[in-house]
Amino acid sequence: MKATNRYLKGMLRTGVLAAVWGACVAIAAPVGLPPVPVPENNPMTPEKVKLGDKLFHDTRFSATGEVSCATCHDRAKGFADGLPVSEGINKLKGTRNAPTVINAAYLRTQFWDGREPTLESQSAQPFLNPVEMGLKDHEPILKIVRADREYVDLFKKAFGKGGDQITMVEVEQAIGAFERTLIGGDSPFDRYYFGGEKDAMSPAAIRGLNVFVNQGRCVSCHVIEQTQALFSDNRFHMIGVSANQMPRDLDELTAAVEDVKQKGTDIAVLTNPKTSSLGRYAVTRDLTDIGAFKTPTLRNVELTAPYMHDGSHKTLEEVVQFYNNGGRMNESDPLPELLSGGIRPLNLTEEQQADLVEFLKALTSPQFVQK
Amino acid sequence: MDINRRAFLKTAGAGLIASAFPLSLVKLAFGADSPVQDFTFGYISDAHIQQIKGDKFVRNWDMGLIRAVREANLLTPRPDFFMFGGDLAQLGKKEELDHGLEIMSRLRGKVHYVTGEHDYYLDLGEYWKSKISPLYYSFDHKGVHFVVLSSILTYDNWIHKNWGDPMQRMLAMARLDNPDGSPFLVGEEQLTWLKKDLEKIAKAVPIVVFSHSPIQKIFKPWNFWTDDADAVQALLRPFEKVTVIYGHVHQIQYNQIGNISFHAVMATAWPWPYPESYTQLPNCLPKLTVPMNRADPFFERDATGWQFIDLSSGKTAMRYQLPDNTNRAVAYNTRTGRPEDLNYQEYQQRIPPQIHY
């Protein structure tokens, strides 16, 4: 908690606030990252961040009193959970791998299928999902924060509000503000590529960068720009992961869509692997989006194994092998029929694949490494 | 012209709005006196399946056809039948046709085939006829008369030049801007057959003609052209509702000549650019054609696609399914008497295409 506060104060002190960016005010960020976009209606303050930090770690907002946001977004695990798919109350399993919160502030949509537009609106969903925190509604949260003395004090300081004036809007805004402080740049790659430190990356990682932007074609989706690198295009692609879960015919597709309509997207996709496999289609119902998932950032990827939206790849080596074979683990595996056109066999040598992994390991921000 | 969007939707558009999922079709109610029943069919075209060597085929073209078949199988309610619009193969080889048919066999529903020049000029349609379908034929369905033409024939003195290897002939016909090429032709034999075939059809019966090349003259260097198009059009002129649907051009085109509405279909393989923007040579691209957003090279399926077609008014409403792009719909507007895009833009309002490279 203290660390993030210090970080934010540092940012405020160096006068990096307030570049106007669209409807947002932006906070400057470390080397390799653009200013952090901040919504106009939720300006950053140290008090709000402190409150959000506490809310983020509070296990009382779950049906069993054992699960908080931090259960699946654990600072010690790169703000992910190290599991293939997340476990909520009573060890109930979802269908998707917890994405890191680090740099989530930059994403144009939240969740693997982009079903929520902002950190604020995203933050309210897991409380109510039966396989996550399992509350029936948000009332228990409001009851606690309106009565708990520490929260009463924090809400007063952050929003100047108390009692019934505190609603989920303030809760969401505080969590969103906290998450906007979880910014990770300043990796060996950043120092090498943007900072001009020629020895910041190992020779293998430098060769890996060359594979990344050329023959590997990784950069087409995991974007690196002239002055910054988010390593995501914020788009959705069907890359072949868990293709065997996808609806095989119209009946199965109809059933999955019916599931979404009845339970709502958030609950339907996290409680049924078949429905989950729809990906972005569950949100847009556009055929191009069947099985398409959001391009995740690659920053700090070494800290957040296992990989892919279903956690089906244990190591970065496996991920590279999967892409090298054009969206499948082995050349003999069948090609997924609705595979995105960008996914093609890469013909990388063993050494190129190893170099690529070394490059991915150079994307780690030092402040998130456990010492 | 001031297009009143509501009026347009009312006259042409009731069948245009494909709901997102399932791809259900908006049914138009027919007048009680109409013999035409409400139905739809799917249209997949220009797969260009290409053999590299042995059992290796060009992956990109394979994936285009596989995707179209997979998506078409998700249509509901089921279309009454499917058309394949020609150029199943790239160089007319048995291996290519067989591989293409294998993928097409996964399509749920009856398929009628149109021959393309890429299917024909290696063995002059022998394998096609033995394995797939006659080159030209007609059938009736729910009150509509469908005619399949082989419009990619050409002059005998070109066909029977001293080619040596028939593959040389195939390659010559496959080439764009080939000074030694030859324009497409329906030919006397088929014209005689067509005349006879249409004699028994009442003039009020909707006619839909499927051809591979456009039965209109658009751009000769790329064979967006049929040399005896005028003769075919003359045979179709007496009928009240005529639609010609063609492949070959790999892009959305639509046009109205007299009583005949023309629609092109997309390729599943690759898009062609607009000759207008590409060559700066004289061409007759229909003015109503609205160029689509062009391909982003990263998305290999962008600017390819397939379509399903609603014939409920006796005129076609084309719904283009365009992966990685915006789906489009083109339907006959009874008020203006021509096909129009649902997102129709006045010619003057369009952003002019880039014509310098």
In eight-state DSSP terms, residue A309 is T
Summarize pLDDT for A85-142 with one digit per residue, the tens.
999 999 999 999 999 999 999 999 999 999 999 999 999 999 999 999 999 999 999 9
Closest CA to A297 of A43, A29, A53, A32: A32
Is the Cβ–Cβ distance between B44 and B68 less than 8 Å? yes
A195 lies in the same domain as A342: yes
Which range of residues forms the domain containing residue A262?
247-290
Instruction: Say what the alpha-carbon torsion angle A18, A20, A23, A27 is, to the nearest 10 degrees.
Output: -40
**What are the Cα distances from residue B36, in Å, to A103, B194, B317?**
59, 22, 15
State the DSSP string of A311-349: --B-SHHHHHHHHHTTSSSSTTSPPPTT--TT-------
Length of chain A: 371
Residue A10 neighbours by CB under 8 Å, 6+ apart: none
Domain boundary pick from A137, A159, A179 = A179
Query: And the tokens for A217?
Result: 């074609």
pLDDT at B276: 65
Residue B351 lies in a domain: no
pLDDT digits over A287-323, tens only?
A: 889 999 999 999 999 999 999 999 999 999 999 999 9
Residues on chain A touching B63 (C-beta within 8 angstroms): 335, 339, 341
Write out chain B residues lying below 8 Å of A342, CB-based.
Answer: 298-300
Burial code (b: 16+ CB inside 10 Å, e: under 16) for B257-266 equals: bebbbbbbbb
Say yes or no for a CB contact (<8 Å) between A341 and B74. no
On whether residue B354 sits in a domain, the answer given is no
Query: In angstroms, rounded to a whole number, what is the distance separating the alpha carbons of residues B346 and B3?
Result: 8
Instruction: Output the six-digit token pair for A183.
Output: 């910014």
Distance of alpha carbon A341 from alpha carbon A347, whole angstroms:
16
pLDDT in tens, B172-189: 999 988 889 999 999 999
Q: How many domains does chain B have?
A: 1
Judge: A250–B301 Cβ closer than 8 Å, yes or no: no
Within a domain: residue B185?
Answer: yes
Nearest C-alpha of chain B: how many angstroms from A365?
Answer: 30
Asked if residue B356 is part of any domain, the answer here is no
CA distance from start to end of chain A: 17
The pLDDT value recorded for residue B293 is 63
To the nearest whole angstrom, how far is the Cα of B160 from the nearest Cα of chain A? 41
Same domain as A174, residue A70:
yes
Q: Which amino acid is at A23?
A: A
Q: A220, A250, A328: which to substitute to probe chain B, counting the most B Cβ within 10 Å?
A: A250
Q: What is the dihedral of CA B205, B210, B211, B213, to 10 degrees?
A: 100
Q: Give how far the C-alpha of residue A156 lies from the chain's centroid of Cα atoms, to the nearest Å.
A: 30
List B260's β-bridge partners, or say none.
Answer: B242, B257
- Regarding whether A273 and A299 lie in a shared domain, the answer is no
Please give the Cα distance from B317 to B79 (Å, whole number). Answer: 14
pTM, entire model = 0.85
Task: Give the CATH number of the domain where residue B191 resides.
Answer: 3.60.21.10
My answer on whether A88 and A130 are in the same domain is yes
Peptide bond into B22 cis (omega under 30): yes
Q: Is the ipTM of this complex over 0.85?
A: no
Q: What is the pLDDT of residue B39?
A: 83
Q: Are residues A75 and A151 in the same domain?
A: yes
Domain that holds residue B264: 2-341
**Shared-domain flag, residues A129 and A199:** no
The verdict on A316 and A206 lying in the same domain is yes
Best mutation target, B58, B62, B108, B301, to test chain A (most A CBs within 10 A): B301
Name the stretches of chain B with pLDDT < 70: 1-37, 276-283, 287-297, 344-357
Rounded to whole angstroms, how far apart are CA atoms A152 and A144? 9
Residue B12 in any domain: the answer is yes
Report the CATH number that the domain containing residue A16 is assigned in CATH.
1.10.760.10
Token pair 């009020």 is found at B204
Confidence at residue B326, expressed as pLDDT on a 0 to 100 scale: 82
Which residues make Cβ contacts (< 8 Å) with residue B288, sequence separation at least 6?
Answer: B254, B255, B256, B338, B339, B340, B341
Q: Count Cβ atoms within 10 A of the Cβ of residue A40 and give its class: 0-12 exposed, 13-18 middle, 19 or more buried.
A: exposed
- What is the structure's pLDDT at B4? 34
- Percent helix, strand, coil in chain B (nearest 5)? 25, 20, 55
Residue B34 tokens read as 């109409």
Q: How many residues does chain B have?
A: 357
Per the structure, the count of domains in chain A is: 3
Among A231, A264, A290, the domain-final residue is A290
